[in-house]
């Protein structure tokens, strides 16, 4: 995109689309496809040549537009141009303002947004820092943060919220690594020193299992579930029959469904393992989907808002209304897995493939050229027949 002529305004800085937009005198606002905005200034250093003997013309970053205002960018650009005109390379002579931990964290978040699977994951990354790091070290310059400051963030939650604390430590480390790469700090990353020095107590990891309904009780529960007409009930029925994850079902869209091939294909970006997953559709599953076509919604299981999916709490709240307080939606995957092992005598790789779990080493997976679709189709037909055991009995 060609650079704009004339001066930028605050409104333009906030709303311009991807490209390099000029403010004049070598100052540019660069907007990435991700929406990240940063300032650069292009200067020609007097008396210095590049390798080809031409005048040395170089771009210098002035910071993200979310932390450096338009006026600040102009002032810094002017400083760089004055140095270049005097024959001084700004890379070695410019005064660099050290950003605070929060400022740099937010810039790192913007820069890395395109690398996350979805916006939700990116927001979770920032929210962890917002909740546990910003209140304690957010306003501190990144070059003044050392072990005591990091420990202020980690120690209060290290035992009680250990998994959160581990994620927090990794995210603090990332921000401080970026700070070092940009020349804002030097020396060892304090998070690394804390880990290697075993400053914090060892916490034994607890394996958390989702509460599951015994597979023997699923048919009776399913028969009760079928008496309910709410969209959440239909979604829960489909979730139980497919043994899929909650998010996979709630975010399901019609283009993923091939009725003729009796197949539901989930794209890689929606899968936890990052790989395409195919689900064979049985008669019972298709019977749930067929009447929902008439809604003409973007999502198969539409929520209260038009063209929006059900809330991720909708099925859990339905379980609570049905007085299933000790059961979770995710737990039905365990119910299916136990049934496959104990009642169907299904091979491990077949049951795990149905759950979209990766089995074996990287080498073993590299040689696995099939997702066992037809064998899984037979198993899912058997599972659906079992789940409908009480319903079928009532209709006879």
Name the packing angle between helices 147-154 and 162-181 (round to 10°).
Answer: 150
Instruction: Give pLDDT, residue 133.
Output: 95
pLDDT, mean of residues 128-137 = 93
pLDDT score of 392: 53
pLDDT greater than 70 at residue 359: no
> Phi and psi at residue 92, in whole multiples of 5°?
-110, -10
Domains of the chain: 10-93 (3.30.160.390), 101-196 (1.10.150.130), 215-395 (1.10.443.10)
Closest-CA residue to 230 (of 322, 127, 155): 322
Q: How far is CA 186 from the centre of its chain?
A: 30
Structure tokens at 372: 């066992």
Q: What is the pLDDT of residues 21-80, one digit of tens each?
A: 999 888 999 888 878 888 888 888 887 776 677 776 778 778 778 778 888 888 888 888
Per-residue pLDDT reduced to its tens digit, 202-228:
877 554 555 789 999 999 999 999 999
Which residue do the tokens 């699923």 mark? Answer: 218
pTM, 2 dp: 0.52
Place of tokens 């028969």: 223
Q: Is 95 in contact with 141 (CB distance < 8 Å)?
A: no
Instruction: Give the pLDDT band (50/70/90) at residue 91.
Output: low
Of residues 245 and 184, which shows the higher confidence score? Answer: 245
Residue 239: per-residue pLDDT:
96
Hey, how many other C-beta atoms are within 10 angstroms of the C-beta on 284? 19
């Amino acid at each position: 995109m060609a650079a704009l002529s004339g001066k930028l305004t605050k409104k333009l800085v906030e709303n311009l689309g991807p490209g390099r937009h000029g403010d004049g005198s070598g100052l540019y606002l660069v907007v990435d496809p991700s929406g990240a905005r940063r300032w650069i200034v292009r200067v020609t250093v007097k008396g210095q040549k590049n390798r080809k003997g031409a005048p040395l013309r170089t771009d210098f970053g002035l910071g993200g537009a979310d932390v450096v205002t338009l006026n600040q960018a102009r002032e810094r650009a002017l400083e760089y141009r004055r140095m270049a005109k005097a024959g001084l390379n700004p890379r070695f002579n410019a005064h660099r303002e050290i950003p605070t931990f929060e400022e740099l964290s937010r810039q790192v978040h913007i820069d890395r947004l395109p690398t996350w699977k979805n916006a939700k994951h990116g927001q979770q990354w920032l929210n962890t820092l917002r909740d546990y790091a910003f209140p304690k070290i957010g306003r501190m310059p990144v070059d003044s943060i050392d072990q005591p400051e990091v420990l202020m963030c980690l120690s209060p939650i290290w035992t009680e919220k250990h998994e959160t604390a581990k994620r927090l430590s990794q995210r603090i480390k990332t921000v401080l690594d970026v700070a070092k790469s940009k020349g804002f700090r030097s020396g060892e990353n304090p998070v690394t020193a804390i880990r290697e020095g075993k400053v914090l107590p060892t916490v034994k990891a607890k394996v958390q299992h989702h509460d599951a309904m015994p597979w023997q009780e699923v048919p009776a529960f399913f028969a009760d579930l079928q008496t309910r007409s709410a969209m959440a009930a239909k979604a829960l029925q489909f979730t139980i029959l497919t043994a899929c994850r909650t998010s996979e079902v709630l975010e399901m869209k019609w283009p993923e469904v091939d009725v003729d091939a009796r197949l539901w294909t989930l794209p890689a970006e929606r899968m936890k393992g990052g790989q395409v997953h195919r689900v064979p559709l049985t008669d019972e599953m298709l019977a749930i989907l067929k009447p929902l076509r008439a809604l003409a919604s973007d999502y198969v299981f539409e929520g209260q808002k038009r063209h929006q999916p059900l809330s991720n709490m909708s099925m859990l709240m339905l379980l609570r209304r049905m007085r299933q307080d000790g059961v979770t939606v995710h737990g039905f995957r365990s119910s299916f897995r136990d049934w496959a092992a104990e009642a169907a005598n299904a091979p491990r790789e077949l049951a795990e493939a149905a759950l979209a779990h990766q089995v074996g080493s990287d080498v073993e997976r590299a040689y696995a050229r099939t997702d066992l679709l037809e064998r899984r189709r037979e198993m899912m037909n058997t599972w659906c027949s079992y789940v409908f055991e009480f319903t079928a009995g009532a209709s006879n």
